[in-house]
Structures are given as C-alpha cells and as structure tokens.
Structure 1
Amino acid sequence: MNHVATATDTHALLRDLAGAIPAARLITDPLKRLAYGTDASFYRLTPKLVVEVADEAEVMAVLAACRRHRAPVTFRAAGTSLSGQAVSDSVLMILGTGWTQAVVEDQGKRIRLQPGVIGAEANRRLAAFARKIGPDPASIDSCKIGGIAANNASGMCCGTADNSYQTVMSMRLVLADGTLVDTGDAASTAAFRASHAALLDSLDAMGRRVQADETLRERIRRKFAIKNTTGYSLNALVDFTDPLDILTHLLIGSEGTLGFIAEITYRTVPEHAHKASALLLFPDIAEACRAVVLLKSAPVSAVELMDRASLRSVEDKPGMPAQIVGLAEGVTALLVETRAEDSAGLDANIAAIGASLAAVTTLFAPAFTHDPYEYGKLWKIRKGLFPAVGAVRPVGTTVIIEDVAFPIAALADATVDLERLCRAHGYHESIIFGHALDGNLHFVFTQDFGSKAEVERYARFMDEVCELVVKKYDGSLKAEHGTGRNMAPFVEMEWGKDATALMWEIKRLLDPAGLLNPGVVLDTNPQAHLENLKPLPAADSLVDTCIECGFCERMCPSHGMTLSPRQRITSWREISRLAAKGDPATELRRLYDYQGIDTCAACGLCATACPVGIETGRLTKALRGRRLPAAARSAGEWMSRHYGGAMTATRLGLGACALVSRVAGPKSMAALAGAARKLVGSMPKLSEALPTAAHYTLASGPADGEAVVYFPTCAARTMGPASGDPEQDSLPTVMSRVLARAGYKVVVPEGLDSLCCGQAFESKGLQDAADRKASDLEAALMKASDNGRLPVVMDASACSWRMKTYLGERLKVLDSVEFLHDAVMPRLKLSRQAAPVLVHVNCGARKMGLDDKMLGLAKACAETAVVPEAVGCCGFAGDKGFTHPELNDHALRKLADQVPAGCEAGYSSNRTCEIGLADHAGVPYRSIVTLLDRASR
C-alpha cells in the first residue's frame, strides 16, 4: 500500500497541484485534516492533504498528480458510510458545492444526477411525477448520490430489485488513468472503445471465462440472489456481455477503488401515494420468520423485523404504541408497509396480506393504518433503533452497526444464533433488526476500543460472526453497507479463492498502481479491520453521545466553509483527549477558536437531524462562555442590567447610519463601510439592507375585543426597515395593526424597553445573564397575561423558541407565525397579490415545526410563494452577519439565483435574518406579518 510518506512528498504534491487547484481548496491545516479523518464508521485516518474539487477537470488533475507522486487518493461524498470507505491517511478528495445538478428526464422516468446531490433531494425533484430513485437507504436525507452508487446502498424497500446496480442506465466516470467516459453518449463511448480497447478486451475475456465456468457462474448468481455488497459486483460479468456495461456495473459498489463516478443516470421507480402500515407482533422469532416467507409473495413494499431487545430499547420513547410495552421475552415484531396507486388497490393489498397471515399466529389481529401520522409513529420505532443504543452507550465507547444477510429460509435460525453470539461475547445491550424480506439483518452493539482486551473481544466476536454467516448459512457478510475496511480481510472467506482472485484481477486492471482507496474492499492484511480504530473520548456531556454519523452536516450553514457539527465534536474530542494527557494542543485550539466557535451559527438545526438529538450549538455557547475574559463578562452583565439604555444606544447608531445612507445613498454607504472594514478589520459589516432605527406606534385594538398579549422583541423595537424598503412601518406598528384589524385588543407588557428573552446573551455564552433576562420577561408576561389566561404572542421566531424552551409548561408562548396562521388569518378578508414572494423559514420557526404555517400564510397572500432550495439557516446568527459576514455569505450562496422574476420581496419571521437575506437576494425581506397586512388592507 502506497502513502504520502513524508512532509517533502506532501509539499511536492502541493506544488504540483498549485496550478490546477486554487490554494483555498488545498487543505493542509491540522484541524481540518483531523476533522476530515472521520466518517460514520469506527475508523479514523488523518489525511495528509484534503482537496476540494469543483469539476471533472479538477478530478482528472488530482488523479494525474497523485499518479506522478504515487499518492493514494480516496473519494468522499457525504461521509455517512459505516464501514470506513471515506477516510484516508493520504489524499482525501472531497466534493465542492457545485456537484448538485439534477436533471429529470422523460416525465420522471429517468433522472441524471451528479454525485453531490443528496438522495432525498433527488426524490423531491421526482415527487411531481410520482416517481423516486430505487435506492432508499435510511440515511437518504443526508447521504449523497456518489456514496449511494459507490456503495450500492439499498434500504427498507428497494431490496435487490431496485438498487443502484439494477437501476443504473448510464454513467460518467473517471478512471484511475484520468480518462473520462460517458457511457450514455455515443461519441464518448466510441472514443473510449478505441482508446481503451485492451481494457475492454480484458473485461470481455473475464466475462467469457466466468460464463464458461458453470461452478463460478452459479456461485455468483446464488450470492446475489440475496443482498450482497461484499467485494466487487461480480454479477456484472454474468448479467452483461458488452464490456462497457460490465465496466459501468462494476463501478457500482466499488467504493471508490475502481474510479470516480462523476454522474449517474437512474431509471426511476413508482412512488405510490397510497400507503398503509401495520405493526405485527408474534410470540417468537420462528413464527415471525414463517410470516416473512409468506409475505414474500404478498403485495408488500417493506417488512422490517425487530427482536424483543429492539422493541425494549424504544418502548419508553414518546409516541410509541402501547402494545409494545411489557411484552414477553422472545416476542418479535414485523413492521409491514404496502403501497398502491389508489385506495381500492390499497384495500385489495391489505386483504391479500391478511389472507397470507392466516397461516401464522399473531399476538394481536393485524391492524393497518392509512393515517400518515399514525404510520409515521410506527416507522419512528424502526428509525429510532440505531440511535436508541447509541444514546445510552457508556462514555468513551462507540456504537457499531453490522450488516449481514441470510437466505430467507434460514432467517429464524440465523437470528437466534446471532442473539446467542452477542450474549456469549458479553454484548448484552445488542439489538437485532432488519429488512426481513431480503434476509438482511442489522445488529447493533457498543464497543470500547480503549484497551487491548476489548479489541481482542471484538476480534473474537467478529471472527465467530463471520464463521456463522459464511460457513453455516452461506450468507453475505455485508448486505448493504459496503465492504469497507472492516470486512475487506474476510472477502476470501465469503467468496472463495477463485472469485476473490477475479476481484483482484479487476482491481489491477482498472487501478494498476493501487492508488484508489487502498485497504477498502480488498486487503491482504488479516488484521486490517482491527487497525486505525477511532477513539471516542469524553469531551463534554453536551456532545458525548455523538456517534459521528454526519446526519447533521446538511443542516449546518458553516459546513463546507469551516467545520460542520460532526467536525466540531470530532475536533473538540481530540483537543480534550490531548488535554487529558497534559498536551495543551495550542495550534488546534487556535484554529478551533475561529473554525469551531466563531463561525458556528449555534442555530440548533443540527439537533433536528441528529439521531440522538445533540445540539452542537450548546457546546459552542458553553465554550464561548468559558473563554470570555473577565472584562467582557462584566460588560455583558452590565448590559443585561441596563438593557434599555443599551437598546437606545443601538437605535442611535442605526439612526446615524441611516442619515449617512440618506445623504450618500445606500450603495455608497455600504461601499464606504466595506472599505473601512478592510482597513480596520474589526468593524462590523454595514450593507445596503442595514435597518434604520425603529420608530413605532402600537395600535390598541377595540376595547371590547378579545385580548392578546403582544411582546415586541428587541430587534423589532430597535431595527426598522432598511432605508430603501418601500414599506417603512416598523414591525411593532404592523403587528399591532394587524392584530387590531382582526378584532384583538392588544396588551403590551409593562417595562417593555428593558425586557429581553436573553437570546443575545445566551449566544455569547453568558448563560446566567440570559436566564436572568428570561426570568424578568417571564414575570412581565405572566402579569400581562393574567397568569396565562391570555395568549402571549412574540414577533421573532428565535425569541419564541428561546422562551418556549425556557418556560416549559409554566406559560404558553405563541410565535407570531402560528398565531397569525391559526387565529388571525381566519378573521381577515385577504386579496392575493400577483407579484411572487420568497419565503424563508428561519431556524426558530423550523425547530417549532412552523414550515407549513409560514408557507400557508404566504400562499394565502400571494399567488406565487417560493421557498428557495438548499437555503437553510441564513448564517446571520444574531450579529454574526455583522461580525463574521463570510458565514452569511456562505449560507446564502445559492439564494440569488432562485429569486423569481418580478419578485417584490421576501418574508420571514426574524428581523436580523431578514437583513442578510435581503443582502443576498437583492430584494427587501420583511416579517411575514407585513405581507398579511398588505393582503388584508
């Protein structure tokens, strides 16, 4: 195995790449290299160099340089792979932000995708055609097409019929020698057949050899009759005769060891709108597996098996069905889903499934539900299994999910054997579940890699698992997670010498120098699966349950600029580990200050995607608090106690800027401020969308109207519209006017000028000051609402979320979005405007689940309401848009191109977010209540 062995080698490679890749995308700093040394597996390798590639030409340039310097290179998409495929101790090639093209063709029957497209995004593009891509991995909301194809990922519904291997139509791929070929383009394939005739002849000869060897041919067919991602896709040599088709299908499941997938065209599959699910309970595993055999020929789309330990791990979670509590030992569940084109077809499916189940014994009569909310709860059980174990593991241990498959007829005995093995090796917390129709079982357990004895225990366990799967049942050691590093040493055990030799022949043909992802899929080192094991040391109780799966990354505005939530946790773990050894890790801490702390939006959206609910922003805020010097802490405390004066000073400052803007013009003011910022450095960014000072009057509403408490938040009381915005009324004026128009009597808390929810203090790490402000606000709201009798409405979603979290059940606070949608809008007569509007559901609104209500308000007031794709947290983050505008720039880099023609404005529900949004969209952004005001005048 070849590596970039020395600093000199790395420097030479960097010099070679300097002409092809901008320096900013040649990543050498130790913190980022450490951060990219982690994927969702339990391995860690720190790359010598991370290269962010923007297009195919750059991929070819990197491969050429790596060939010249004999430097191994690994391709990485989302890094959610579970078997160590996406880490390297040499060159790690990551996708830049531009690999996201998705082209729907032939009325949704085909879709052409670049490797950076998230799987769920591909399905969103296909939803209008009632189609979807075939692969449906559990990580589809986070994983990318490049990884889905390279790992031949499947999932709960696609089985062996609709995975990438079965549904790929063509591919643009880059081979190790730098050649680009598009197998769907006649000119490209003709040129390739001419330039690579020898390679294609070799593949043709391999195929003919396999076809002539009846024993090997039938062995391959039998192995792929069930899910199998162990080794290479040898079925390509059996299923196809054209060597170009063989090559295309060999790339599927090759895990970046044979070439780079630059684009893939899939044949899509139907996505039926009518669905129903049932949780079936059986007295034991044998009876459940008999049911699986019967259901194999029934009209089911998914059958998920869960053993008793699986059910026990989630039975105390909110929303779980009552019948799974207190079940006897041995009880096994099947979660069954059926789909149809219409309701009549769905009813027929349910009847057919019931007839199939008549021959087995269930604890309760099968009861299918058509209600999305109810069957959503059932699938929540299944999706909660992996994180349920991860969340309760001892600190310092990792959670491992293994992935095997057995012939259906052996599923019952194999499951019992697996349970026995887990207990025999001391993994008493383990659970077993899986895609029963395909004989695919996952088993999850926790493992400490901190001592030699524990590593040896794991090694013994895995040896026996492999013996069980291969020798006893002739199953698959890897069913859908890819061979990776942890099963590479066992490929020959599963496949035998002849098939394994064929795989090595394929590897040497397509990667003769052995530079593409060495150690993955094939490895001659029998101990490779026990090397480079990832430590998960205690770092902070706020994040110690993190399993580093990477599901959070797509939610983070700083991902791709500095660090993602996973990378922040990974980095802080390493800093903490070094600190425990007495190493101050000075350089890592210096880099972490900016990359980990200063550019974290602390928006909390990461927690909404995290399987164990970790909010990395809480760690960031805690670290901000710990590093605050005494003077800054004192200043923060002083401001919290003199808040009214501080807000008055802020208004005065905004008024002064507005005066300059009126005299010189918004563009000139922004340009002057930008020039000053470049000179001084520490000056805040002042843009054209900078608010004026807020001046407002509060409408009281009818004296006999239904009373509502309205709390204008700090930003609303301080920041008025931008000087160039045609709407010049400040938010409190507009909000109180709309409430009054709807017949509400508006009540405002006493001492308004000094009241604050504490959000601004919490974001700086001043938790005591934040909670003191929230306590003061609670008292004022309690008094104004007559101890909670009157509804309380706040006009900034970030503040509403903060107070809802702080108050718990003591006092109910309503965000303006939910109150306007549920209570105000039905009382108003609306006229929809013709001009299209943009809608931004900010972080606070998202965490409160107000996406649909925000969009509902916009659609009631405008004929066209657009929610821009790939725009999540805006990155303004309170004041980060002023102090670290690069975060806002990065988060909203895709916004401007999505502004519809004739758009008059954008709407949200956080004043500070609206500043950054307006900056990048080129149109004003306002509170959603302003749109409701206009439509109801």
Structure 2
Amino acid sequence: MRIEAGGFRRAQGSPLSSLPPFPPSFQGRAWTGDEAARRASLVSGPFRAHPQVYLDAAGPAHVAEAVAWAAEHGLSIIPRGGGTGMPGGNLGPYVVLSVADGLSGIEVDTASETVVAGAGAVADAVDRAARSTLGRRLPFLPASAAWCRVGGLVANDSAGAGTFGHGATHGWVEAVRGVDARGNDVHLTREGTSSGPLAEAMGRLANHPTLSALAAERDPEGRLPGWPRVRKNSSGYALDRFLSNGSRGQPDALQLLVGSEGTLALITEVRFRTAPIPETRGVLLLPARGPDDLVALVLELEGAGAVACEMLGRRFLEITGLRHSGPAAPLARDAYALLLVEVEGTAPEVAAALDRCQALGQRYGGPGLRARSQAESDELWRLRKAASPIIARQARQGLLSTQFIEDCVVPVPALGRFLVELDRILEAARFDAVVFGHAGDGNIHVNPLVDVEAPDWHSRVRQALEAVADLVADLGGTLAGEHGDGRLRAPFLERIWGPRLAGAFREVKETLDPAGTLNPGVIVPLPGQDPLEGLSPRPRSHP
C-alpha cells in the first residue's frame, strides 16, 4: 500500500503507525494528516472533518479487507463516493473509505435489459451506457448525476425531477453486492435469492418483537403505524418496504439496504433495471397565484400525465431576476411560484397531456408558457438550473449558500403551509434563501444565504434548523426526501419519527452492526450528537 501526501501523521496528530497494521494484501492508497482532511472535506455539503485516515480501495476485495480490519480493531468506516452528499454522511472523524476510483466498472446485460455498475461508477455514465447499448435509460437520476456515484445513489435512495413519474432509486434496483460490518460478502436481490450472513440476519430481524409488532399493526392501506404520508422519503430505515415482504413472501432485505447510508453494509456493485426512452417529451411552465393554488395544481397534475413537477419559489424568482427578464418574466411577475411540468410519450400523447395541464393551470394561475420545440424545452429547464450561478454571485457578496434545511419533504396537501411557515422562520432568523424543488413530491430544497462574518450566524442557523424540524414534524413529514439523514439530521430522528419508530431504527442498527463499525452517527444518532458539528460554510467548490 502506498502512503501519499500527508506523511505519517493522521488527522488528529497521531502517527500513522499508531493505527493497527493494514492487511498486507490490501491494495489502494492512504492519506493522513492535512491531506486526509482536505480530501475528506471535498464534499458538496457545508461540512468539514478530520478523519483518522483516508483510504482509496482498489477493488471490492480490498473494501472487504478494509472493513474486516476496522472491525477487528474497533475502528469505524465511513464510505464515500463522489462527495456530492449534503448532510455529512460521507465524512467524519473516523476512517474514510473511498470507492470512487477502484469500483467504477459498468456492464450492460442485453438479455435482461439491466446495467451492472460498480459503486464508484458515475451515475450519468451508467445512464449513457444504457442509452447507447440498450436504447433505454435510468429515469430517476438526480440533478447531480454527472458527479454522484452509484454507491451513494443507492445508499441514499436518491431521486430527481423524474421521480414524480418514475419513483426513486429503490424501485429500480434489482440486486446489490457489498460488504457487511465484519467484512463478509453481501448479495441481496429483488427476487429474494439473497445470500450471506447479513441476509440471514435481516431475515431474523423481521421477527424481532419490535418490528413484528409494527408489521402486525399496518393500517388498511398497508402503512406502518406512525409512518409519514409522504410521496418519497430517504430518512430512517425503509421498514415500510422491508416489512412489506418481497416476491417470496419474505422480508425484503434488498429494500432495507437501499437508503441505509452505509450504516448496515458498504455497497460495491448494483444491478439496475432500465426504462424505454420516450418518443418525445413536452415542457410547460405554469404560474400559481398563491400557496393554496400551488397545492391544488400540484395535486391534479399527476392525473394529467405529468412525470416531473418542479417548483421555482417566490424568492428564487426575485433573486434570479426571472421576474424581470427572460421567457418566464410575464408569468413570474405576478406569480407566487412557477411550476415546471414535463410530460412524455408519443407525440399525440404529449400534446394531449400538455392540453390537460394547461387547462388545469388556467384554473390556478393561467395557461402558462408551452415549449414548442426541443430547444424551447431545454431553455425552460435551464430556468430550473439557475440557482447555481445565483449562489455563486451571492458568495462573491459574502453570502454563502448553507444547506442545513435543504431536503424537507411533507405530504403534498401540507406543502402550502410549509412554504408559508418557512418564510416566517427564515425571516425570524434573518436569512434570505433560494427555495426550489420537487413540488410534485412535496420535497423542497432550501438554501439559506449566510453571512459568516456576522457574529451570531451560527446561533441563527441553529434557530432556523430547530424551527424547521418542529414544523416538519408537525406537518407529518421528514427532513430528508432524497439526500439521506447524514450526521446533520440524525439528532432529530426521534422528533421526526416518534419514539416507537426511532426505537425500531435503533434496533435495526444495533442488530446488524452491534459494534458500530459502519458510519456511526448516521441515521441513528450517537449520545449527545450535535447536528452542526463540523459546519463550515464556504463557496461551493465540489464537485
């Protein structure tokens, strides 16, 4: 193993030799000291950390060796892919293990129309492989697909604009290979033909009194008691899907692993199913007069055939200047928000769906702006992506986008109240914010703009975070629709989920990783864990 920049010091000043000896067969690279901290802190979120060592494994077998080494010596492993995660689940004061370079292979299976990708493969590259070889696609990918890696995509049950019509990542995963908390191989499949000690332990876990009692109390809709009525969720463990029983009438171990944020196993390989590429698509921009009209319109758009339903909030429109110039200006000038709607199918199907959506829009704000060509569709989608240059401009003025309340999801009927109360919370904490997101799913991205030169900025961040957590809990939502809990949201687990479900999540973690080897403090909090530990807002430089 080659030790690179950072010398023989680890992050907290101890020599590398104070760590237990690495397995002699381990292949990869390691960094300690300042270089380990620099690499670990190359993340999209607003956190920094000083790991004991930063490892880059050369392949799946070496991931298993690293985990077995950590388990043997009482160390903890944090898995890392592309660093695009926001809430701090991909960095911390332990051993950071990167799979970004050593597990990037992609294979297309033409017989099953699936794609097999290593955990380090870039999500967009997997989609391109499906398109070029199968003439099919991955329709659920997030906006970060050009940078995020397959392991993180699945570990966070990520989602994107297409989730409104196609569902989140978990619905497209056919099988996963990985490594459990002791370094054993894991193989979980949708068909239930799973193998390995983790699969066996998951089978026993379903019979634990805490979980079996939850399963026995499902309501007539099949919902677990206390489970939030949201369209998507990446907070907690997916007990709703795990206890729903898979294709063989057994607990769905695969679904418990998806979205577990590297706390139950480290993913090394994923098989995805794919979807046909539609003949054409249509895009429409619809105004909403107020929060009530926004909710009413969103609730009807799915039935009209929309596969994406994105929101550009009031302050988004003001800060971007979209109210005053560009194709959206006539709509944005008097709108509370704009909805970017996409439909897909054959040309006649798309035309009919756009007609239906425009008729709905007429009732709640106006018929909107309809793209008449592919170029116009692309131009309207660019409006949705206008946040990044705005945030960069604000950073030059000393205001840093700080993602500490960036992934809330609430039941869609509660979306209007969430937005109104959010404005009050931000005003009370004296923050402006760029607000946008997946309105169709009730999932809103809030990017407060923080002046870190102000002496009270940190206390006001905490004030806003606490108030938003209370609001989301009151509305029956969660703090993570598609980005996961990470270390930021884990301390709010019981506030959001209640003691019974939070206790069930803890049973899952303690049963499957009793030593806390894998990503401790993520999903299930550690005693006294501070959600803002390591918070260090800075101009976004990664990816």
TM-score by structure 1 length?
0.53
Give the C-alpha shift of residue 325 in structure 1: 8.4
> Which amino acid in the other structure matches residue 258 of structure 1?
L
- Aligned match of 2:151: 146
Q: Check whether the contact 2:201–2:512 (CA below 8 A) recurs between aligned residues.
A: no
- Aligned match of 1:178: 183
Question: Deviations for 1:408-454, whole angstroms, at most 9, x for unmatched residues?
Answer: 21222221111222122111x21322211111111111224567622
Does 2:458 align with 1:458? no
379, 388, 391: which is aligned to 1:389?
391
Does 2:19 align with 1:16? no
Give the C-alpha shift of residue 160 in structure 1: 8.2
* 1:658-697 to 2 correspondences below 5 Å: none
Alignment CA distance shift 1:323-1:447 (3 Å) = closer
100, 104, 111: which is aligned to 1:100?
104
Q: Secondary structure of the residue that 2:286 maps to in structure 1?
A: strand
Q: How far apart, CA to CA, are the structure 2 residues paired with 1:285 and 1:222? A: 25
- Aligned match of 2:446: 443
| Structure 1: unaligned runs, 5 residues or longer | 537-545, 552-937
Does 2:282 align with 1:276? yes
- Aligned match of 1:290: 296
Alignment CA distance shift 1:494-1:45 (3 Å) = same
* 1:392-403 to 2 correspondences below 5 Å: 392-393=394-395, 398-401=400-403, 402-403=406-407
Give the C-alpha shift of residue 458 in structure 1: 1.0
Give the C-alpha shift of residue 392 in structure 1: 1.0
* 1:552-701 to 2 correspondences below 5 Å: none
Q: Check whether the contact 1:305–1:334 (CA below 8 A) recurs between aligned residues.
A: yes
- Aligned match of 1:91: 95
260, 263, 272: which is aligned to 1:266?
272
Give the C-alpha shift of residue 278 in structure 1: 1.5
Q: Check whether the contact 1:314–1:381 (CA below 8 A) recurs between aligned residues.
A: no
- Aligned match of 2:347: 343
- Aligned match of 2:417: 413
Alignment CA distance shift 1:318-1:53 (3 Å) = farther
Give the C-alpha shift of residue 79 in structure 1: 0.4
Question: Deviations for 1:358-409, whole angstroms, at most 9, x for unmatched residues?
Answer: 43331xx334214222111111111122441343136665312311112121
Q: How far apart, CA to CA, are the structure 2 residues paired with 1:268 and 1:324? A: 39
Q: How far apart, CA to CA, are the structure 2 residues paired with 1:346 and 1:299? A: 9
> Which amino acid in the other structure matches residue 339 of structure 1?
E
370, 373, 376: which is aligned to 2:375?
373
| Structure 2: unaligned runs, 5 residues or longer | 1-9
- Aligned match of 1:704: none
> Which amino acid in the other structure matches residue 375 of structure 2?
Y
- Aligned match of 2:29: 25
Alignment CA distance shift 1:83-1:155 (3 Å) = same
Q: Check whether the contact 1:63–1:176 (CA below 8 A) recurs between aligned residues.
A: yes
Q: Check whether the contact 2:235–2:485 (CA below 8 A) recurs between aligned residues.
A: yes
> Which amino acid in the other structure matches residue 320 of structure 2?
V
Q: How far apart, CA to CA, are the structure 2 residues paired with 1:477 and 1:14? A: 38
Q: Secondary structure of the residue that 1:293 maps to in structure 2?
A: helix
* 1:279-358 to 2 correspondences below 5 Å: 279-315=285-321, 320-321=326-327, 323-324=329-330, 327-328=333-334, 331-340=336-345, 342-358=346-362
Q: Secondary structure of the residue that 2:21 maps to in structure 1?
A: helix
Q: Secondary structure of the residue that 1:477 maps to in structure 2?
A: coil
Give the C-alpha shift of residue 162 in structure 1: 2.4
Q: How far apart, CA to CA, are the structure 2 residues paired with 1:386 and 1:405? A: 21
Q: How far apart, CA to CA, are the structure 1 residues paired with 2:437 and 2:399? A: 23
Question: Deviations for 1:708-752, whole angstroms, at most 9, x for unmatched residues?
Answer: xxxxxxxxxxxxxxxxxxxxxxxxxxxxxxxxxxxxxxxxxxxxx
Alignment CA distance shift 1:31-1:395 (3 Å) = farther
- Aligned match of 2:3: none
Q: How far apart, CA to CA, are the structure 2 residues paired with 1:196 and 1:323? A: 54
> Which amino acid in the other structure matches residue 141 of structure 1?
A
* 1:39-78 to 2 correspondences below 5 Å: 39-78=43-82
- Give the length in aligned residue pairs: 528
501, 504, 523: which is aligned to 1:502?
504
TM-score by structure 2 length?
0.89
> Which amino acid in the other structure matches residue 464 of structure 1?
A
RMSD: 3.0
Q: Secondary structure of the residue that 1:286 maps to in structure 2?
A: helix
- Aligned match of 1:250: 256
Q: How far apart, CA to CA, are the structure 2 residues paired with 1:134 and 1:430? A: 29
Q: How far apart, CA to CA, are the structure 1 residues paired with 2:331 and 2:201? A: 63
Higher strand content, 1 or 2: 2
Question: Deviations for 1:476-496, whole angstroms, at most 9, x for unmatched residues?
Answer: 211111111111111111111
Q: Secondary structure of the residue that 2:487 maps to in structure 1?
A: coil
- Aligned match of 2:4: none
Give the C-alpha shift of residue 148 in structure 1: 0.5
- Aligned match of 2:522: 520
- Aligned match of 1:137: 142
Does 2:131 align with 1:127? yes
Q: How far apart, CA to CA, are the structure 2 residues paired with 1:186 and 1:311? A: 46
Higher helix content, 1 or 2: 1
Q: Check whether the contact 1:396–1:535 (CA below 8 A) recurs between aligned residues.
A: no
Alignment CA distance shift 1:176-1:350 (3 Å) = same
Q: How far apart, CA to CA, are the structure 1 residues paired with 2:12 and 2:74? A: 12
Q: Check whether the contact 2:116–2:272 (CA below 8 A) recurs between aligned residues.
A: yes
Give the C-alpha shift of residue 260 in structure 1: 0.6
Q: How far apart, CA to CA, are the structure 1 residues paired with 2:266 and 2:169? A: 15
Q: How far apart, CA to CA, are the structure 2 residues paired with 1:168 and 1:497? A: 30
